[in-house]
Chains A and B, each alone.
Chain A
């Protein structure tokens, strides 16, 4: 074996890079191996159509941990977050709902639809804030093991219980509801405006194979709210130069700290001896030895592709096989010669600078889910669109634009045929859906990129096309993520760790997973040294 490292990180997505940077910061010799030619994993920007930069998968930033931005000094490495203000939801009736960050303005807008809802919106915001404060520390903690009597775990569980008891009765009531209810049932208690409830509930289903009426979807509403109290930056934003610029900034910080990054370096095997990781074999045949392996790819790749089942405990392999991915969304990226013109609010305006949400009503959302349950992409899908080129002209030629559409539902497993047969029709269906609201869309498309769940799997290594490396459902969260008994970034193989979105606290461009995993690795390293 030619080279030797302290740590090899598999996968150059944002979590892998964060993990590598922190390990290098602690003085370790780190190598990152990325399969593709570009860094970033699903946080990537590429020039798919000449002159147009598409943030192919992940398209907005929300919960990137402020401590990571600070500790890795990301702004110096080129990170610049531009505001994404508001959500515009056109309705088929010709009306619209346009919520913005300015609370008073939003309230006035909601009052146009319902006086009661305008008042409730105020209360709702006030209620969510303390709950976000309650949940937030959990995003940066290693989940406790609920099955042991180990004092450390018991202390953590007790700490959580104690904090729960410190909440007021009203806060507890709402928190319990958020953890257990469906987004639709939860919002029904607060609001009456259909389009408001539909648009809010949409955040509860992103990346899951659940409908807005499925219990467990209310929790994500809280997640959505959380960014707003971070204080470091506005909740939702674009990164200048596209989402890939975030990965590049983290990559640059990592390199400066001494991390070696190799692209076009697909991993074939994780080498292990006597239950202990010893190195990596690349597809090229090259072998790299190291003390520790940190895998930012999902558990299917890590344990089922890169390892032999016989090297792992059989119940662990069973749990990994049970881990649910079932991707439910696709992505359509459009290069446009002009801006879309919405019937509900014609012309170019600030409403195009925020998110545009095709979620006109609760029944619309639920029916979109019904199609998916039986293996069809939604006839009328939920679409979350952004036009980053309005805020960041660097991503398109002058006067032209990029429209990025997140589409749900698109089930990985189709009832009939393959995604290769349905890709074209799926893309056209999305465009037709948009055309219902902005009829000029068909005339302004220069080119398009359609990513089905199968494409997300093939191209970006997201098993079954799940954008969060595994469904964010209640039974796969916190001390159950990715699998029971192994929610602590460790694995049954000594010196092999997980640091990707498949670990707590889950997906999205947070970076928390990579950071917590680095702490676990360093702690164990120290323990082993003593």
Chain B
């Protein structure tokens, strides 16, 4: 196919923008079509209350894969990444707390007031994750191999991955095999005695998933995430101005490379002819003819909403139908008149000061059983009465997001199942804000009085407003049977689809682990290879 060929990308989320950048660099003419009035998908900054802005969905970076950051030259686009220290504050309801710093030794030091043994083991744990992350990082950066007809590149990848695995040594390889399928509660218990420490780390294995810490396979999710950031509790960085700034920079990089970006351009239909893509039809009736379409929206939307299912092979359609994409995460934003006072922040816990301690993420969920009980409710279609919260107060380091002296608090709420047993999300949305305020009040008693406004995004809103089918923020459950060569489905994990000229680049493909750009970058490589 000729260079300079038009390629339409559906959705202006971070993966699509990155794919567009690489396609433009590779000599194609990418056109990104975004349904909403702004690009970014799940990485946006929006005003939720007059004067108060928040990173509406994602509130921290993945972080973006280093090679992607480098290729896009993101440093050129006025993007200021704030790295809070400490990264995470985990309080208990009885007024204790734990701080996680970027530096493992410093964290270990802070930990030793809870348990000297755990302090020592923490450094070991951080090192073990770092080692594993090299292997997982390698796996996340390759296209899953074709099983029937492996290409020379597949063999090469296998060889390189195999070498990285062997580098772990005998014990390391066995750890890798053993840890993956384990329940994350068992995994953290192999290292630590302190319940709070266990729970804070285990939370990473269940975030955004329909898993509790006692669910087998939750360790695999933690390790997958460690591939992007080997820090035991993950990343806390965010750009000044919110995540929307990150998307803006990606967009500008793509445009500079030659991509065209259009907002308020909703693709309604992917047109096909003889099993191949022939163009897209927009909601306003406009048609764009093209022979290549890359979908940055989730696989279910792509195949069942945008395509005529009659065009799909029945076996593929059946597998796609079985793709699990029912989410259990909601988001709540609070506009606060002042900074809440957390009782756990005594001088002993936060020598660096009160404000610093709150500047990263705040993890609510102090015991493994607390996390598991929160999950239990969702299994029966109920909202957790004591939810697990991942909270940020971005205004501490970026006051521009709120009027002077005031604050924004964003909380990921787990578990809020997409499918409710009783009532609908339309009627029950208020429960989420109340639950967040009530839960946080146990840690910061003055918080309820500070709330000026609350904004709730239910799983249903995630679907209708942001386009995440089933309200699943990762475009499909990250489970052992839906990762790597099985993401989204076996035989179609290489960013291709059964429709000629239609590709996938979203988190619904391998590795699909959040705002890392890995899916977008991997997909671009395959697409360029295919179209050339």
B310 within 8 A of A: no
**Contact indicator A165/B322 (Cβ below 8 Å):** no
**Contact indicator A215/B186 (Cβ below 8 Å):** no
**Size of A's binding interface in residues, CB under 8 A:** 35
Please report the C-alpha to C-alpha distance between residue A176 and residue B493 in the assembled complex, in whole angstroms: 14
**Size of B's binding interface in residues, CB under 8 A:** 37
- Tell me which residues from 343 to 381 in chain B have a Cβ below 8 Å from any Cβ of chain A: 369, 372, 376, 379-380
Instruction: Collect the chain B residues with CB atoms within 8 Å of residue A475's CB.
Output: 177-182
Please report the C-alpha to C-alpha distance between residue A383 and residue B183 in the assembled complex, in whole angstroms: 26
Against B, the Cβ 8 Å flags (1 = close, 0 = not) of A160-173 are: 00001100011011
A416 within 8 A of B: no
**Contact indicator B177/A484 (Cβ below 8 Å):** yes
Report the minimal beta-carbon distance from A164 to chain B, rounded to whole angstroms.
Answer: 8
Instruction: Collect the chain A residues with CB atoms within 8 Å of residue B489's CB.
Output: 173
A119 within 8 A of B: no
Against B, the Cβ 8 Å flags (1 = close, 0 = not) of A300-339 are: 0000000000000001000000101000000000000000
Report the minimal beta-carbon distance from A233 to chain B, rounded to whole angstroms.
Answer: 33
Instruction: Collect the chain B residues with CB atoms within 8 Å of residue A216's CB.
Output: 181, 216-217, 480
Instruction: Collect the chain B residues with CB atoms within 8 Å of residue A198's CB.
Output: none
Report the minimal beta-carbon distance from A137 to chain B, rounded to whole angstroms.
Answer: 20
Against A, the Cβ 8 Å flags (1 = close, 0 = not) of B484-495 are: 001001110000
A374 within 8 A of B: yes
Q: A165-B147, A170-B315, A172-B490 are in contact. Are A480 and B480 (CB under 8 A)?
A: no
**Contact indicator A180/B481 (Cβ below 8 Å):** yes
Please report the C-alpha to C-alpha distance between residue A366 and residue B212 in the assembled complex, in whole angstroms: 13
A210 within 8 A of B: yes
A146 within 8 A of B: yes
Q: A147-B174, A181-B480, A322-B190 are in contact. Are A214 and B319 (CB under 8 A)?
A: no
In this complex, what residue of A is CB-closest to B372?
A373
- Tell me which residues from 170 to 195 in chain B have a Cβ below 8 Å from any Cβ of chain A: 170-171, 173-175, 177-183, 186, 190
**Contact indicator A215/B181 (Cβ below 8 Å):** yes
Other-chain contact of A324, B186, B217, B480 (Cβ < 8 Å)? B186
- Tell me which residues from 178 to 222 in chain A have a Cβ below 8 Å from any Cβ of chain B: 180-181, 185, 189, 210, 213-217
**Contact indicator A146/B216 (Cβ below 8 Å):** no
Other-chain contact of A181, B211, B380, B479 (Cβ < 8 Å)? B479
Q: A180-B481, A480-B178 are in contact. Are A374 and B369 (CB under 8 A)?
A: yes
B284 within 8 A of A: no
**Contact indicator A181/B177 (Cβ below 8 Å):** no
**Contact indicator B319/A173 (Cβ below 8 Å):** yes
Instruction: Collect the chain B residues with CB atoms within 8 Å of residue A366's CB.
Output: 379-380
Instruction: Collect the chain B residues with CB atoms within 8 Å of residue A173's CB.
Output: 319, 489-491
**Contact indicator B174/A480 (Cβ below 8 Å):** yes
**Contact indicator B480/A215 (Cβ below 8 Å):** yes
Instruction: Collect the chain A residues with CB atoms within 8 Å of residue B315's CB.
Output: 169-170
**Interface SS of chain A: helix, strand, loop or mixed?**
helix
A394 within 8 A of B: no
Please report the C-alpha to C-alpha distance between residue A291 and residue B198 in the assembled complex, in whole angstroms: 46
Instruction: Collect the chain B residues with CB atoms within 8 Å of residue A479's CB.
Output: 177
Please report the C-alpha to C-alpha distance between residue A189 and residue B322 in the assembled complex, in whole angstroms: 6
**Contact indicator B216/A474 (Cβ below 8 Å):** yes
Instruction: Collect the chain B residues with CB atoms within 8 Å of residue A164's CB.
Output: 147
Other-chain contact of B171, A177, A180, A189, A315 (Cβ < 8 Å)? A315
Q: A373-B214, A374-B369, A484-B177 are in contact. Are A180 and B479 (CB under 8 A)?
A: yes
In this complex, what residue of B is CB-closest to A374?
B369
B148 within 8 A of A: yes
Q: A147-B174, A485-B170 are in contact. Are A215 and B216 (CB under 8 A)?
A: yes
Q: A169-B491, A324-B186, A484-B178 are in contact. Are A213 and B480 (CB under 8 A)?
A: no
Please report the C-alpha to C-alpha distance between residue A373 and residue B372 in the assembled complex, in whole angstroms: 9
B324 within 8 A of A: yes
In this complex, what residue of B is CB-closest to A174?
B490
Instruction: Collect the chain A residues with CB atoms within 8 Å of residue B175's CB.
Output: 484
Instruction: Collect the chain A residues with CB atoms within 8 Å of residue B479's CB.
Output: 180-181, 215
Instruction: Collect the chain A residues with CB atoms within 8 Å of residue B379's CB.
Output: 213, 366
Given contacts A146-B177, A164-B147, A475-B177, 14 further A-B contacts (CB under 8 A): A146-B173, A170-B315, A173-B490, A176-B490, A181-B480, A185-B481, A214-B215, A214-B216, A215-B215, A215-B216, A366-B380, A374-B369, A484-B175, A485-B174
What are 8 A-B residue pairs whose CB atoms fall within 8 Å in the complex?
Answer: A147-B173, A165-B147, A185-B324, A213-B215, A214-B214, A215-B181, A315-B171, A473-B181
Chain A positions near chain B (C-beta within 8 angstroms): 146-147, 164-165, 169-170, 172-173, 176-177, 180-181, 185, 189, 210, 213-217, 315, 322, 324, 363, 366, 370, 373-374, 473-475, 479-480, 484-485
Chain B positions near chain A (C-beta within 8 angstroms): 147-148, 170-171, 173-175, 177-183, 186, 190, 211, 214-217, 315, 319, 322, 324, 369, 372, 376, 379-380, 479-481, 486, 489-491
